């Protein structure tokens, strides 16, 4: 009996190990399909990203991850769907992130010897990414895409650059004490360009979330509550939600269609 249990335990470990390796291989394979790029923020932090280029005249999505994460792991199932829609895509690893969620590897964080940055401190990374798009001949419309804390920073970046940014998708914009110094509400109120603000139903018991959705609606912005969603952009990943993400994808693709 003990031998059977031992063999079963060993087999379980091997299966889990193989699954983890499959995930890593998938992330690496998708990275190879893109062009790794880097650029520098205004405080000399080296920011890594991946560029999926279709046509410089096509619209470009600038996509950022949530806290404790990185672009390749968080968006591994999302990027292929967006590529089908004909967008150029630039994903970046901000200085605030890691591999706590979804595994993978945050290349920007890995090269910072002493990382004491807070969420608001990642804003220059996104500014540098926008500058990279503009400096490299992309002439189509530019749309920002943020997840959790980066959704809040995307709102700020869009508000400060409404002359060159055409739209924003904000998945679960973070607020409260961790975002002290870069709260989202003033930017939601000031934005005049198209905004899609999305939250999972599980977050709507929060008064901050309720007020955020209310403010967006009052200022003419589109909102969506994903019934079976999860925090951030992962509400589009069927491996991370309880059920189908088809309706959420439909809302996102319909919003993006106006920029083609």
The residue ranking higher by pLDDT, 147 or 102, is: 147
d(CA 210, CA 46): 37
Give the per-residue pLDDT at 32.
47
- Supply the pTM of this predicted model: 0.87
Give the per-residue pLDDT at 66.
98
- Complete DSSP assignment for 122-152: GHHHHHHHHHHHHHTT--S-EEEEEETHHHH
Give the per-residue pLDDT at 13.
56
pLDDT, one tens digit per residue, over 92-104 is 999 999 998 898 9
Tokens of 120: 């608001």
What is the pLDDT of the chain when averaged over all its residues?
Answer: 92
Split at pLDDT 50, 70, 90, the class of 6 is low
d(CA 92, CA 62): 8
> Residue 47: what are its φ and ψ, rounded to 5°?
-110, 125
d(CA 151, CA 187): 11
Mean pLDDT of 140-164: 99
**CA angle 169–227–230, rounded 5-degree value:** 60
Burial bucket for residue 247 (CB in 10 Å: 0-12, 13-18, 19+): middle
d(CA 240, CA 245): 9
Give the per-residue pLDDT at 100.
85
Residue linked to tokens 């360009």:
193
Give the per-residue pLDDT at 231.
97
d(CA 192, CA 167): 9
pLDDT, one tens digit per residue, over 8-52 is 555 555 555 555 555 455 544 444 478 999 999 999 999 999 999
Flag whether pLDDT at 91 surpasses 60.
Answer: yes
pLDDT, one tens digit per residue, over 154-183 is 999 999 999 999 999 999 999 999 999 999
Mean pLDDT of 88-113: 95
Q: DSSP label at 237?
A: -
pLDDT, one tens digit per residue, over 173-215 is 999 999 999 999 999 999 999 999 999 999 999 999 999 999 9
Sequence-ordered list of residues with C-beta below 8 angstroms from that of 228, at least 6 positions apart, any chain: 200, 201, 241, 242, 243, 244, 245
Split at pLDDT 50, 70, 90, the class of 139 is very high
Architecture of domain 35-257: 3-Layer(aba) Sandwich (3.40)
d(CA 115, CA 93): 14
Mean pLDDT of 249-257: 99
Among the listed residues 164, 260, 154, the one whose alpha carbon sits nearest the alpha carbon of residue 197: 154
């Amino acid at each position: 009996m003990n031998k059977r249990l031992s063999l079963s335990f060993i087999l379980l470990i091997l299966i889990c190990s193989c699954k983890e390796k499959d995930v890593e291989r998938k992330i690496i394979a998708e990275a190879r399909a893109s062009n790794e790029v880097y650029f520098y923020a205004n405080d000399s932090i080296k920011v890594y990203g991946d560029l999926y280029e279709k046509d410089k005249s096509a619209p470009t999505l600038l996509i950022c991850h949530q806290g404790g994460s990185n672009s390749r792991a968080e968006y591994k199932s999302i990027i292929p769907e967006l590529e089908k829609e004909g967008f150029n895509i630039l994903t970046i690893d901000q200085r605030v992130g890691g591999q706590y969620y979804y595994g993978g590897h945050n290349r920007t964080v890995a090269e910072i010897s002493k990382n004491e940055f807070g969420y608001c401190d990642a804003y220059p990374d996104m500014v540098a990414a926008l500058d990279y798009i503009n400096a490299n001949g992309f002439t189509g419309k530019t749309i920002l895409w943020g997840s959790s804390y980066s959704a809040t920073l995307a709102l700020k970046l869009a508000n400060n650059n409404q002359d060159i940014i055409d739209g924003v998708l904000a998945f679960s914009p973070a607020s409260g004490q961790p975002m002290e110094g870069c709260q989202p509400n003033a930017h939601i109120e000031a934005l005049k360009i198209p905004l899609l603000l999305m939250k999972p139903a599980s977050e709507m018991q929060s008064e901050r979330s309720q007020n955020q959705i209310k403010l967006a609606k009052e200022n003419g912005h589109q909102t969506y509550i994903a019934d079976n969603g999860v925090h951030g952009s992962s509400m589009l990943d069927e491996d991370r939600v309880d059920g189908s993400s088809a309706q959420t994808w439909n809302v996102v693709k319909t919003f993006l269609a106006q920029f083609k």
